[in-house]
Structure 1
Amino acid sequence: MNVEDLRPGRHLLLECRSGSHAYGLATPESDEDFRGVFLLPYDRLLGLHYTAQLADATNDRSYYELGRFVELLDKANPTALELLATTGVDVLYRHPLMNQLQVADWLTKACRDTFAGYAITQIRKARGLNKKVHNPMPEQRAGVEAFCYVIEHGRSQSLADWSHQTGTPAATLALAKVDHARDLYAMYHDSSGAGWGQGVSRPQSNQVVLSDVPKGQPVIAYLSFNKDGYSTYCRDHRAYWDWVERRNDARYLGTLAHGQGYDAKNMMHTLRLLEMATEIFTEGRLNVRRPNREFLLAVKAGRYTLDEVLELAEERLAALDAAVTKSELPEELPVGFAEGRLVELRRVLYDGQ
């Protein structure tokens, strides 16, 4: 079974435009997305090949099996609730029985966490992306030596500066562990080139190198290796380049173009979700089409700095929490409510099969 098999009167129960078109935020560049609900053939429902969701290759069309859809409603999933709340020209088909599922019946205080949870995640991502945009990391990871510091005469300086000032190549140095001192090493110089100086590190190693120093060699200084700092740096470097590999380049170029250093589209949807959630608790309904198109599109265009957008998000989050406190919505759905509705619908839809 695939998306092409879904037709009104043949397994399709609900089909709506979704995304920017349903929100009233579409621009000429916006793709059309569609979401819906379908009914499995009876034998597929009872057999081993249950299908919870269907989607096309680009995921522009995505449809939930009725049981999966009700399960998502039971969990206050924003996407499922928005789909059920879609009205007007954006509803392309609605089976009459779907009118038995009214969005107001599924609204509970759980919506605070499901709507705001996504928003809070996006706020964290915005801060992280801003850091990545303004602090790019070189592809070649720095070595251990960049986190080594030489201690002598009561002061410390980087190993690189010390080597330059003294004319001592790091490759001719030798290190020995200092007892009872974490990440501190006695440093020796193989000035004669006898070969016992093993240097400070090896390529791709995460540790300093220790050498067998001949007896009687004088300690020329002490070396401190910031091991914890290097571990953090390696983790950040790996995370940065994993992000570079996974990122959507078109979206990233948009981020660079508006110059604010955050994913403006994500932050637009963050503000939208927080506003919709607040309306759930103040009006008792979910308004999919947004009344403040121009403002939200200005956010999407990057006309606000990151600090301004984060302040707007924090204000909306505070307003949401205040609305939740005053709301008379139930904490959660009654036990068995979702399953009861699903059973009722399936009994009618599969009548005689």
Structure 2
Amino acid sequence: MAKKLIANRDMFISQKCYHSFANYAFAQIKKAKGQNKWINNPKPKDQPKAIDYMYWIPKEGFDYFSWGRDDDSFACRPVKMESSKGYKLSRVEHGFGVYRVYEIDETFDFLRSGKIECSSISKEEERKNFVGLLSFNEVKYDQDCKDWKNYWGWMKNRNEHRWTKQESGELDYDAKNMLHCIRLLYSALSILTTGKPNVYVNDTQREHLLKIRNGEFSHEEILKEAEELVAKIDKTKKDLEESENPIIPKEVNRPKLLELYNELMDEFS
């Protein structure tokens, strides 16, 4: 099967390789800058805590007459919520991320695995135990937890040698991803000009790619090279579209591919 596929590999090539290779190459550029943010913005070892995203307004702060007092305090000034223990919460209607706070005994905790657990509040608790309103920035908390998880997952699985220069400040990008970007653009240009993918780079290209891998160019220099390659690819693609006998078709021949598929299934079923 493999030999037959290799013998008919030209059937799978079309001008659409432009999108596959060029788009993926620029995704690599974006990734190179994105992971550099993790280098420059390390996350603490401890996971974000929900309580750190909570502020509350004690009911005393609701007093209208607290406006303009001599001590320069303001009404409804939120303060940091120091603990989730000893309080019950109930959600405020039509108030996103806003909860009523009720002071209960110290054994109660309104946080369960980092998530708020609201409680049923009796009429007596409503009258006697209400102490204020709490605001929880859950969107920011969830995003920070996601970033924290991604960062430490990357730290755990990354190649330490690959990131040495970035951490030391010698490079401001992921050199390996930029290498792949240029290599993919080489392949795209090769397919559009010769009809074959650039599986093995020539000696000149190989030497240049190794220099990129070793961080011998700035990010701006590599971006400029990528833009020049894309310009060549764009021109080549335009020439192919205008040609009466293009070296590769605009689209693959689906009936022929289906015929090949059926032959393979008959031979190896």
Equivalent of residue 35 in structure 2, options 116, 129, 132: 129
Secondary structure at 2:134's aligned position in 1?
strand
The 1-side partners of 2:218 and 2:130 are apart by 54
Instruction: Say whether 1:175 aligns with 2:89.
Output: yes
Provide the residue aligned with 1:141 in structure 2. 47
Q: 1:142 to 1:130 in 2, by over 3 A?
A: same
Give, in angstroms, the shift of residue 297 of structure 1: 3.1
Instruction: Say whether 1:331 aligns with 2:250.
Output: yes
Give, in angstroms, the shift of residue 184 of structure 1: 0.5
Provide the residue aligned with 2:177 in structure 1. 266
Q: 1:325 to 1:143 in 2, by over 3 A?
A: same
Instruction: Say whether 1:249 aligns with 2:163.
Output: no
Any residues of structure 2 matched to 1:218-233 within 5 Å, and which? 219-233=130-144
- The answer on whether the counterparts of 1:260 and 1:304 sit within 8 Å (CA) in structure 2 is no
Any residues of structure 2 matched to 1:70-85 within 5 Å, and which? 74-76=11-13
Q: 1:277 to 1:290 in 2, by over 3 A?
A: farther
Equivalent of residue 313 in structure 1, options 222, 226, 238: 226
> What are the superposed Cα offsets for residues 215-238 of structure 1, whole Å, 9 maximum, x if unpaired?
423654421112222222223333
Give, in angstroms, the shift of residue 155 of structure 1: 6.0
The 2-side partners of 1:338 and 1:262 are apart by 44
Q: 1:120 to 1:209 in 2, by over 3 A?
A: same
Give, as a single letter, the amino acid of the residue that structure 1 aligns with 2:80.
L
> What are the superposed Cα offsets for residues 315-349 of structure 1, whole Å, 9 maximum, x if unpaired?
53344234312223421344427966xx7xxx9xx
Provide the residue aligned with 2:111 in structure 1. 201
Give, as a single letter, the amino acid of the residue that structure 2 aligns with 1:119.
A
Q: Which moved more, 1:221-230 or 1:282-291?
A: 282-291
Give, in angstroms, the shift of residue 196 of structure 1: 6.5
Higher relative contact order (CA 8 A, sep 6+): 2
The 2-side partners of 1:187 and 1:314 are apart by 57
Q: 1:154 to 1:123 in 2, by over 3 A?
A: farther
Percent of matched pairs sharing the same residue: 29
The 2-side partners of 1:246 and 1:71 are apart by 38
- The answer on whether the counterparts of 1:123 and 1:267 sit within 8 Å (CA) in structure 2 is yes
Provide the residue aligned with 1:10 in structure 2. none
Give, in angstroms, the shift of residue 117 of structure 1: 4.2
Provide the residue aligned with 1:49 in structure 2. none
Provide the residue aligned with 1:17 in structure 2. none
Q: 1:337 to 1:248 in 2, by over 3 A?
A: same
Q: 1:276 to 1:145 in 2, by over 3 A?
A: same
Q: Which moved more, 1:136-145 or 1:246-255?
A: 246-255
Give, in angstroms, the shift of residue 283 of structure 1: 6.1
Give, in angstroms, the shift of residue 185 of structure 1: 1.0
TM-score, normalised to structure 1's length?
0.54
Give, in angstroms, the shift of residue 156 of structure 1: 5.7
Q: For the aligned residues, what is the CA RMSD? A: 3.8
Provide the residue aligned with 2:3 in structure 1. 66
Flag structure 2 segments of 5+ consecutive residues without an equivalent. 62-73, 241-245
TM-score, normalised to structure 2's length?
0.68
The 1-side partners of 2:233 and 2:79 are apart by 50
Give, in angstroms, the shift of residue 293 of structure 1: 5.0
Structure with a larger share of its residues in strand: 1
Flag structure 1 segments of 5+ consecutive residues without an equivalent. 1-44, 46-64, 77-107, 164-168, 348-353
The 2-side partners of 1:224 and 1:126 are apart by 37
Give, in angstroms, the shift of residue 173 of structure 1: 4.0
Give, in angstroms, the shift of residue 183 of structure 1: 1.7
The 2-side partners of 1:256 and 1:142 are apart by 23
